[in-house]
């Protein structure tokens, strides 16, 4: 696993603009082939539009970045190939759910999803609909994904409105500090009851992480364990 950087974020300014992504031309046959295979395995996959970064600058915890729009098929093919090329970054917000007793709550993705079997916080790649007057509203994206995936209500969450960045190679996870107003066991029971009522469950189950070794046996993205180790230290 490559090195992971973890640092606090004071503010975000991510603006949408145009960008001629070389990967689209360089790998057009690989993109088509990958999408045919992927959509055959994941019949509910939808080739919508997502946002990636092509420029970013950090100063004292402030992120100023430029995003561009591309097809989900191109994005997921690029990701499967190990993020080839320089400069482009997969960025996303995550609801770092923490129960009132300090334990983290991770969701395990359902079998029909692109990341089936992996456990991590509620998250989603930003979409054009997350933009307001050309500015990417990552806060709203995170709040929406959290509500959709877990069924938690705004009154059941204390949004601390702070971010922690976890950067690894061409991935930038922006963790939003969100506290569920119940102990972990109660929070898990509540979320699992809510998702059982959903027609299309993104989460199969909820895992409680009170200490770093509670993740043993879980399949997670590489950046999750360093974040949990750091937060629980």
In this prediction, residue 226 carries a pLDDT of 96
In this prediction, residue 2 carries a pLDDT of 65
In this prediction, residue 45 carries a pLDDT of 86
pTM score > 0.85 for this model? yes
Q: CA-to-CA distance for 95 and 92, rounded, in angstroms?
A: 10
Domain coordinates in residue numbering, the chain? 5-232
Q: What is the 3-state secondary structure (H, E, C) of 147-188?
A: HHHHCCCHHHEEEEEEEEEEEECCEEEEEEEEEECCCHHHHH
What CATH architecture applies to the domain 5-232? Alpha-Beta Complex (3.90)
In this prediction, residue 43 carries a pLDDT of 84
CB 105 within 8 A of CB 180: yes
Q: CA-to-CA distance for 192 and 7, rounded, in angstroms?
A: 32
Q: CA-to-CA distance for 183 and 151, rounded, in angstroms?
A: 17
Mean pLDDT by 10 residues, the chain (233 residues): 87 95 96 95 91 96 97 96 94 98 98 94 95 95 95 95 95 97 98 95 97 97 96 94
In this prediction, residue 212 carries a pLDDT of 95
Helix (H) or strand (E) holding 14: strand 11-16
């Amino acid at each position: 696993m490559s090195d992971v950087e973890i640092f606090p974020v004071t503010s975000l300014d991510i603006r949408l603009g145009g960008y001629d992504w070389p990967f689209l031309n360089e790998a057009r046959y690989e993109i088509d082939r990958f999408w045919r295979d992927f959509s055959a395995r994941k019949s509910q996959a939808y080739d919508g539009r997502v946002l990636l970064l092509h420029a970013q600058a950090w100063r004292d915890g402030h992120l100023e970045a430029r995003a561009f729009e591309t097809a989900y098929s191109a994005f997921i093919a690029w990701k499967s190939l190990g993020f080839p090329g320089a400069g482009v970054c997969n960025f996303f917000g995550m609801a770092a759910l923490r129960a009132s007793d300090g334990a983290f709550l991770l969701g395990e993705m359902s079998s029909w999803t692109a990341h089936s079997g992996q456990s991590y916080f509620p998250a989603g790649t930003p979409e054009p609909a997350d933009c307001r007057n050309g500015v990417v509203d990552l806060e709203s994206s995170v709040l929406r994904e959290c509500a959709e995936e877990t069924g938690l209500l705004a009154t059941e969450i204390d949004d601390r409105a702070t971010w922690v960045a976890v950067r690894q190679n061409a991935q930038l996870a922006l963790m939003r500090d969100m506290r569920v107003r119940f102990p972990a066991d109660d929070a898990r029971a509540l979320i699992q009851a809510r998702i059982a009522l959903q027609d299309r469950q993104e989460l199969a189950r909820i895992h409680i992480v009170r200490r770093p070794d509670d993740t043993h046996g879980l399949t997670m993205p590489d950046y999750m364990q360093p974040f949990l180790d750091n937060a629980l230290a």
